[in-house]
Amino acid sequence: MKHILFRLLAILVACTAVPAAQAQDPPNILWITVEDMSPNLGSYGDTQAHTPNLDAFAREGVRFARAFATAPVCAPARSTIITGMYATSLGTHHMRSVGWLPDAVRPFTHYLRAAGYYTTNNHKEDYNFETPPGTWDASSTEAHWRNRPDPDQPFFAVFNLFTTHESHVRAGPAYERDVADLPPALLKDPDTLTLPPYHPDVPAVRAAWARYYNVITKMDREVAALLDQLEDDGLADETIVFYFADHGVGLPRGKRWLYDSGLHVPLIVRIPERYRTAGQGTPGTVEEALVSFVDLAPTVLNLAGVDVPEHMQGRAFLGPDLTPPRRYVYAARDRMDERYDMQRAVRDERFKYIRYYEPFKPFYQYMNTPEQGVVMKALRQGAAEGTLPPAAERLMTPTKPREELFDTEADPFETHNLADEPAYRDVLERMRAAQNRWVEETKDVGLIPEPILRAMEEEADLPAYTLVRQQEVPFARMRDVALLWTEGPAAVPTLVEALQSAHAPVRYWAAVSLGNLGAKAHPASGPLTDALADPSPTVAIAAARALCRMDQPDEALPVLVQHLRGDRQWVRLHAALVLDEIDDQARPAIDAMKAEMTYRDDMLADGKYTVRVLNRALNELLGTDNEVR
């Protein structure tokens, strides 16, 4: 009956999604996703973790040793998971933002539904775009495969477990609720834990790591409860089960970072024998091949016997007719809440390369959310007292290197940068070239400043993905100009020329690069003054920043205040960030900054990101300690 129903539905919607040939009933598929968690499971070799249920699950399935998120934070990562496309291609790469999907791109559950699947999500979405109608049959705290109208209908069900989220690792009511039913003997003794070398070894940090391991123990029990429901329903032998995390641990230098601590995730897949392709799914095996989040959607469709749409950018890693394994995985970090910091990473099975497009910014920019945690407070205190361990101290510098290269086999914590070592020159150039190719081939819209990108979308009435494929957008030129300042004053004439580009993103990066050079770019002060009237407010703000860094704030400050008072959210944020950066030069603008310390219900998140930046700037200028949400 189940097979017949699936076939009839598939024929009816053949124009939408054409299922591949099925030799048997289609599998049910269950996703169990968890928040903010690195591979801290017993099955991954972490002896500090108490995860008996997931360890047993790993013995029944395949443990993927090299699975990586495409972003170290939830919304951009989930954007990729649900579409099978890089967030940096779709324009959904900032945390948080509201992107716009082109008509041809749908969440992969659309194709499953068209092929006869009942799809449910319980319950977090957080895709950085408005969920299109038809994505789910049900998406709520009540969504469950048990609610499908026909018990013979195949299902794809997602359960998002929130227990390990960073907010639950903090001491407080959420954490206390999570661990209330755990036997005291299972609660971790902070003094027995081994900490990573980039965290200070102080009691507050040890306590945070103990809480993290305790909520993992709780989560392990929640996973077991879901697996028990499958067994109780007699569906375990008909259901492929995926378990994975949305990115790495929710502590500083994990979540929001492109190190493995932010990107490496657990991924375990259990495939009933009847659905195994030859050589796949053998219980208790370990798969060493690289897997990226962009591969999850194609893999589910392939397992379900549904053709993978051509626009998807990943590859199926399970099921029939696989393409060759990938050589690299890629990841991106862009705006994290109120702070921009464009970073890109590429990793092979051994080496990790990180390109910092804004190395003039510190590793640890002040961000409201992580600063509330005890680990970030301990890092700040240790930096002030000069007591941090070397691996933590290197992250407290006011600037970053342009590039980092790590041998993850010899240096799993990624603390020894090999980028300047001659012995690794060939590796560096290979990985750098891979990153450059990826930026161009995927049309990485992270190179287009957020206010400019949104203005381009609005003007063309097209989503970013379509826009950059229909218009001439010089990705290589933007990338090169963004990095040109690293060549020093010799780059000034070329940057001044770039200030005249017809493309606003090129002009923006030219102004930023000149500002990074500071007084060394003084010959460009005239063209930068002219750029204060640029038709793009974002370029004008970047020019104002450059002039301030040349100690010429008089004409720049009014431009910053003008755009701070505007109605475009991301333009306002750019202006606020410059006012925060220029410190005492911003004093004449204090009254204007105070006046804009208001939440706006016409903006995403009530405009709180601009409020946060202004609050930080005013606290620094006035010696206050005001807190905002």
Query: Which residues are known to be catalytic?
Result: 74
Which residue from 225, 257, 324, 250 is spatially nearest to 35, judged by alpha carbons? Answer: 250
Q: How far is CA 68 from CA 80, 84, 246, 599, in A?
A: 12, 14, 9, 36
According to DSSP, residue 117 is labeled -
Name the amino acid, one letter, at 616.
Answer: R
Contact 88, 140 (CB under 8 A): no
Tracing tokens 């999907």 back to the chain, one arrives at 101
Six token digits for residue 591: 């009254």
Beta-ladder partners of 138: 120
Q: What are the residues whose beta carbons fall under 8 Å from the beta carbon of 376, sequence distance 6 or more?
A: 252, 364, 370
Contact 241, 30 (CB under 8 A): yes
- Please state, in angstroms and rounded to a whole number, the distance separating the CA atoms of residues 364 and 370: 10
Phi, psi dihedrals of residue 585, rounded to the nearest 5°: -60, -20
Six token digits for residue 498: 């770039």
Torsion angle, alpha carbons of 449, 450, 452, 453, to 10: 110
Residue 80's Cβ-side half-sphere holds a number of Cα atoms within 13 Å equal to: 28
- Please state, in angstroms and rounded to a whole number, the distance separating the CA atoms of residues 446 and 440: 11
> What 3-state DSSP class applies to 187?
coil
Q: How far is CA 586 from CA 444, 566, 567, 579, 594, in A?
A: 33, 18, 21, 6, 12
User: In 25-61, which positions are buried (b, 16+ CB within 10 angstroms) versus exposed (e)?
Assistant: bbbbbbbbbbbbbbbbbbbbebeebbbebbbebbeeb
- Please state, in angstroms and rounded to a whole number, the distance separating the CA atoms of residues 447 and 480: 10
Contact 531, 524 (CB under 8 A): no
Helix 556-564, helix 537-549: angle, nearest 10 = 140
Which residue from 73, 175, 166, 169 is spatially nearest to 127, judged by alpha carbons? Answer: 73
Peptide bond into 168 cis (omega under 30): no
What is the full DSSP assignment across 447-475? GS-HHHHHHHHHHHTS-HHHHHHHS---H
Contact 410, 384 (CB under 8 A): no
- Please state, in angstroms and rounded to a whole number, the distance separating the CA atoms of residues 290 and 293: 10
Six token digits for residue 177: 């609720």
Which residue from 17, 32, 24, 23 is spatially nearest to 116, judged by alpha carbons? Answer: 17
